[in-house]
A and B are shown apart, each in its own frame.
Chain A
Amino acid sequence: MDADITLRVDGTERHLTVDTRTTLLDALRERLGITSPKKGCDHGQCGACTVLLDGRRANSCLALAVAYDGSEIVTAEGLAENGELHLMQRAFIEHDGYQCGYCTPGQIVSAVGMLEEVRAAWPSHVTEDLNVEEISLDDDEIRERMSGNLCRCAAYANIVPAIREVSER
C-alpha cells in the first residue's frame, strides 16, 4: 500500500509517495537522497540513524515514514546554519571524535538532542538526585546519556570531551 506524505526535512518541505513499509530512515536515504542518517543495525540498537524528529532525537530506522506524515526532521546535514558548521560538528572535528566516521552523524545529532534534554533537567540513570533542578553533565552523565550511540572504532575517548566542551559553552 502506498501513502502520500509530507515531511519537513532540514528546513525544506518534501512531498513523497511511500510504501507503508518504508521507515523514516529509508525514506530519507533512498527517496530523498539525504544520506547523513546512516543504516547501521536497522534494529534500533546502534543509533547511527539518529535524527531530530519534531525536536527530539529518535531512531529513524524504527519509525515508519507514514506514521510521521507532517513531521519536522533535522539530520546532521541540517544542523549547519548559513554555511557554518554547528558547534557540535566543530567540536567533533577539533577533538577528533571519530575514526571511520560512520556513526558520527548519529552521534552528533544525538548529542545535540541530548543537550536539550539536559537543559530541560531530565535526569538519567546515573543522576544521583532524581529531583535535581540542574544537571551537572560530567563524563558519567555523558556516557550514560549517549549509550544509544555505538562506535565500533571506540572513539568514545574523544567523543566524550567533544560533547563536554559544547555543553560547557
Chain B
Amino acid sequence: MRPYAYVRANDVDGAVATLAEAPNAAFLAGGTNIVDLMKLGVVQPDLLVDVRRLTSERVEDLDDGGLRVGAAVPNSDLAADRKIRTRYPALSQALLAGASGQLRNLATTGGNLLQRTRCVYFYDTTTPCNKREPGSGCSAIEGHNKNHAILGASEHCVATHPSDMAVAMAALDAFVNVQGPEGERRIPIEELHRLPGDEPERDTILEHGELITSVDLPPLEFLSNSKYRKARERASYAFALVSVAAALDVEDGVVRDARIALGGIAHRPWRATKAEEALRGEPASEENFRAAADIELEDAEPLRDNAFKVPLARNLITRTLLDLSEER
C-alpha cells in the first residue's frame, strides 16, 4: 500500500476544507470498501480524512414526519432501528440482505452509498478498466460479464452499483444531504449516482470535497408497505445478481401509487419509473405487474453472459408487487 497521511478533523467544516485542498485525498468512514481498495492498489490516496465520528450516528424525526439518518449510522443500527423497520421495511430488509454481521457493524450509511463497483476488472489492476484508469478500455464488455449491467451502460463501462441499501433508498424517494466547499445541498437520491457515459470514473455527481452528512426519508405512508427482494448465487453474504425494492399503494384492488427500484442491473440504483407510470390507476394484478416490468425492461441490452437478468428482474418485480398487494 502506498504511504499516506491520516487526519481526524474536528468537525464537518474542517473535514471538507482539508479534503478540498488536497486533490488526491479521500474521506474514510467505516473503511470496509476503501481499505480493501487501497490494499489492492485500486485507489491510492495520499491523505485520508477520517469522518467516522463527525457526522450524526442517530436516526431522528423530521418536522415533516419523515426521518433523518446520520451519515455515520452503522448499517447494522439502521437495519435494526424500530422506526425504519415499521415505516420503511424495504430499507431494513435491504441492509440485512447485504454483507455480513461484522461488516454491517463497521459500514456506515454515507460510506455504503459511496462504495465502488465490485466489477472484477475494476479490482484487478493488471487489466484495463476505464473506471480505474480512464481511457485504458473496458475488459468486461468482451470478458466475463455475468454480473454486469443490462440497462444504462455505455461503450466505456458496464459495471453495476453494488449497494443493496441504495436501491431501497431509491425506491423510498430519499434525499441525500451534502456539505461541500461551496456550502450545503440536497440531492434526490436518484440523481446522486450517475450512468457511466464517457466518464465511468465518476460514480456520483458529488464534487471533490463534498461530504454526505445525512439521508432524509420522506413521510409517505404507503412506504410502510414496501419490500426488498434479492437474488444471489448463495443464500447469504453475496452481492445481488438482481434485486428489487418496491412500495405499493393499493386501494380497492387498484394501484394508486408505486415505487420500484432495481439493483444489480445498472451503474446506479435503477428507478423503474416507466413501470411505476404503467401501474398507476391499473388493477393490482399479476398480469399488470408483469406487463409493467416488461415495459421497464424493454430497453435492456444484455451482454454475452447476463441475459438471465432480464427474466430474473421481471420475475422479481412481479413477485414483489404481488406480495405487496396481498399483504395490504
Contact = CB atoms under 8 A, between A and B. Distances in A.
Real binding pair: yes
Interface in B30-77: 31-32, 35-36, 38-39, 48, 50, 52, 76
Interface string A123-152: 111010011000000000001111111000
Interface in A92-130: 110, 113-114, 117, 120-125, 127, 130
A28 interface: no
Contacts of B236: 125, 143-144, 147
A123 B92 contact: yes
A98 B61 CA distance: 46
Interface in A41-55: 42-44, 47, 50, 53
B93 interface: yes
Contact of B52 (A62, A67, A144, A149): A67
A43 B93 CA distance: 25
Contacts of B105: 53, 56-58, 113
Contacts of A66: 6
Contact of A23 (B28, B35, B86): B35
A89 interface: no
A20 B89 CA distance: 39
B18 to A, nearest CB: 15
A36 interface: no
Contacts of B208: none
A145 B102 CA distance: 9
A147 B100 contact: yes
A73 to B, nearest CB: 13
A23 B3 CA distance: 13
Nearest to B99: A148
A135 B6 CA distance: 41
A113 B6 contact: no
Contact of A50 (B79, B80, B102): B102
Given A21-B3, A122-B80, A123-B80, A58 B106 contact: yes
Contacts of B85: 123, 130-131
Nearest to A1: B5
A43 B52 CA distance: 20
Given A123-B92, A124-B96, A1 B4 contact: yes
B220 interface: no
B26 interface: no
Given A20-B48, A47-B102, A63-B106, A130 B3 contact: no
A113 B106 CA distance: 13
A90 to B, nearest CB: 22
Interface in B1-21: 1, 3-6, 8
A147 B31 contact: no
Nearest to A114: B101
B102 A67 contact: no
Among B50, B99, B101, max chain A CB count under 10 A is at B101
Nearest to B238: A147
A147 B105 CA distance: 14
B35 A145 contact: no
Interface string A64-81: 101100000000000000
B31 A67 contact: yes
B3 A43 contact: no
B223 interface: no
Q: Which 9 A-B pairs have the closest CB atoms?
A: A148-B100, A147-B236, A147-B237, A20-B6, A122-B80, A56-B105, A125-B96, A130-B85, A148-B102
Interface of B: 1, 3-6, 8, 28, 31-32, 35-36, 38-39, 48, 50, 52, 76, 79-80, 82, 85-86, 89, 92-93, 96-97, 99-103, 105-106, 235-237
Given A59-B32, A123-B79, A147-B236, 17 more contacts: A20-B3, A20-B5, A21-B1, A42-B39, A44-B36, A53-B105, A56-B105, A59-B103, A62-B106, A64-B31, A66-B6, A67-B28, A123-B92, A130-B92, A144-B235, A147-B235, A149-B100
